[in-house]
Amino acid sequence: MSTAEPLTLVLPSALTIERPLAKLLAFAREEYETYDAVVMPLESTITIHDITLTMMVNSRLTAPGARSIYRARERIERGLAYIPADVSLLNDHAAVPWDAIYALFNEFETIKGAKLAIATKILHRKRPHLIPMIDNKVFGHYAGGCPTLLTLKMGPVAVRSMELFRDDLLAVRGRVEALTFYLEEHGFPLTPVRVLEILIWVECNKQEPYYSAV
Dump pLDDT digits (tens) for 76-85: 999 999 999 9
**82: which residues sit within 8 A by CB, 6+ positions away?**
97, 100, 103, 104
For the chain, the distance separating the N- and C-terminal CA atoms, rounded to the nearest angstrom, is: 15
User: Could you read off the pLDDT of 46-62 as tens digits, one per residue?
Assistant: 999 999 999 999 888 99
User: 34 with 56: CB under 8 angstroms?
Assistant: yes
pLDDT band at residue 6 under the 50/70/90 scheme: very low
Distances from the Cα of 191 to the Cα of 19, 68, 196, 206, 214, angstroms: 19, 29, 9, 23, 23
Asked whether the whole model's pTM tops 0.85, one would answer yes
